[in-house]
Amino acid sequence: MSANRWFQLDVFCHSPGGGNPLGVVVAADDWSDADMQAFARWTDLVETTFLLAPTTPAASYRVRIFTPQREIAFAGHPSIGSAHAALEAGITGPRDGHLVQECQAGLLPVRVDGSGNGRRLSVQSPRSRVLERGIDAHPLLAGILANIERGALPPAFVEGGRRWWLAEFASEADLRGWQPDHAAIGALARASDSLGLCAFARSRDDAFELCVRAFPAGVGIVEDPASGAANGLIGAWIAQAEPDGPLARGYRVSQGREIGHDARIDLRIDADGAVWVGGRTATIIDGTVHWD
């Protein structure tokens, strides 16, 4: 019987239960691929991660990320939560304010700001590239966005760790009230080998500059309460398209309100185009998992 430390976390939380849940198994080096996938299926969380010893001295720890269906190379909220668990478990500590995460997407720096309940972690997203742009980029896209007043930026298909379709709405109210065709988004995800559609709108709220909704039908999720990787791609797209705009060096995101959450995600965009996605993580459960 394997007994491992287990964290259940609330990632990108702004209020209790407002973020994205994550499960983390610590010191899972003796778990097989099948064990990890079976356990992730059993937890039925959006993602479950497994912390292992790094394979290179440059890394602080190694992480493997599983949805209930499959292993994935990178995701934002699992990266932030795994870094939090590694610190809480005493596996590693920051050097010059940073950790280095080893995952299938490579070695990714994680910035550590503050300590205790006020600590905020930010992961550097993998570099992105725009694959397609425009409402006619895919035959299914125009139908999904029919009758939607779109914002300043055209829709785009962007790759960077994950592949997402991005669409800007003209107003926050339109985005929050939108009732999307989830079956059509699923068809688009399958046809383009992507996670699905992530929509955003600029906000006049004093607490955040962008409202985001993410629909990762490609991995069987109707709507995601807080999407680190998708927000990283949005940040990169905005910085590329509007290099002199007010959001080109960073902003704060509100996500998840439409499904009963209230996440806050911070974006920082360096002058060289590196995108950092971060926020606060809270430990909800710190216990032991027994998996035979």
Q: For residue range 54-65, list pLDDT tens digits in order.
A: 999 999 999 999
Q: Please check whether residues 114 and 212 belong to one and the same domain.
A: no
- Domain coverage including residue 215: 129-273
Q: Are residues 26 and 84 in the same domain?
A: yes
Same domain, 76 and 171: no
Indicate if 12 and 111 belong to the same structural domain: yes
- Asked if 266 and 284 sit in the same domain, the reply is no
Q: Which of 15, 91, 81 is nearest to 60 (CA)?
A: 91
d(CA 126, CA 106): 8
| Same domain, yes or no: 102 and 196 | no
Q: Which residues contact 54 (CB under 8 A, 6 or more apart)?
A: 60, 61, 62, 102
What is residue 1's predicted lDDT score, i.e. its pLDDT? 52
DSSP three-state, residue 90? coil
Domain of 115: which CATH number? Answer: 3.10.310.10
Instruction: Say yes or no: 145 and 233 in one domain.
Output: yes
Q: What's the pLDDT at 171? A: 98
Residues 141, 115 share a domain: no
Q: Do 85 and 136 fall into the same domain?
A: no
Query: Both 285 and 211 in a single domain?
Result: no
Q: What phi and psi values does residue 52 have, to the nearest 5 degrees?
A: -135, 165
- Please check whether residue 9 is in contact with residue 85, taking contact to mean a CB–CB distance below 8 angstroms: yes
Among residues 115, 99, 113, the alpha carbon closest in space to that of 54 is found at: 99
pTM of the model: 0.93
Contact present, 7 and 285 (Cβ < 8 Å): yes
The total domain count for the chain is 2
Residues of the chain with pLDDT under 70: 1
Q: Are residues 210 and 283 in the same domain?
A: no
Determine the Cα–Cα distance for residues 71 and 275; give it in Å rounded to an integer: 24
Same domain flag for 60 and 95: yes
